[in-house]
Structure 1
């Protein structure tokens, strides 16, 4: 089973975005995931990792929940 980690910038107010993505992943994959962990960060970070492999990083791409879910699906 895969572990997903969502690192989000606290000062930027990305908690709600991280929670929305966490909900989408858990709703989509349910028991296929070991867990979806939220990790606090700073400096504008918003990154998603599956088993320590970065599948999305805000500094490089636009935030799109559906696209992130597709990328996680490829690794689950």
Structure 2
């Protein structure tokens, strides 16, 4: 079972960003994903995880929706 999770900072206002990334991932890869979670967080977090492995972290990677979709695809 494949799970994709986006954890985003609520106080930072990252909800719209998380929803944009979620939409892009589901548009491209919906048939390959069993479960998708949006997790509310704080302290500036914005991470995308596939089966517990981080494929995007805003502290380490440049924000690019297409690159995030490619990273998720690569982890599948």
TM-score, normalising length from structure 2? 0.95
Q: How many residues were matched structurally?
A: 76
Is 1:55–2:65 an aligned residue pair? no
Which runs of structure 2 are paired with 1:17-36 in the superposition (5 Å)? 17-36=17-36
How far apart are residue 62 of structure 1 and its match? 1.4
- Aligned ranges for residues 57-76 of structure 1 at < 5 Å? 57-76=57-76
In 1, Cα distance between the equivalents of 2:21 and 2:35? 13
In structure 2, the gaps of 5 or more residues are none
TM (normalized to structure 1)? 0.95
Q: CA deviation at 1:60?
A: 1.0
Unpaired segments ≥5 residues, structure 1: none
Supply the RMSD in Å over aligned alpha carbons.
0.8
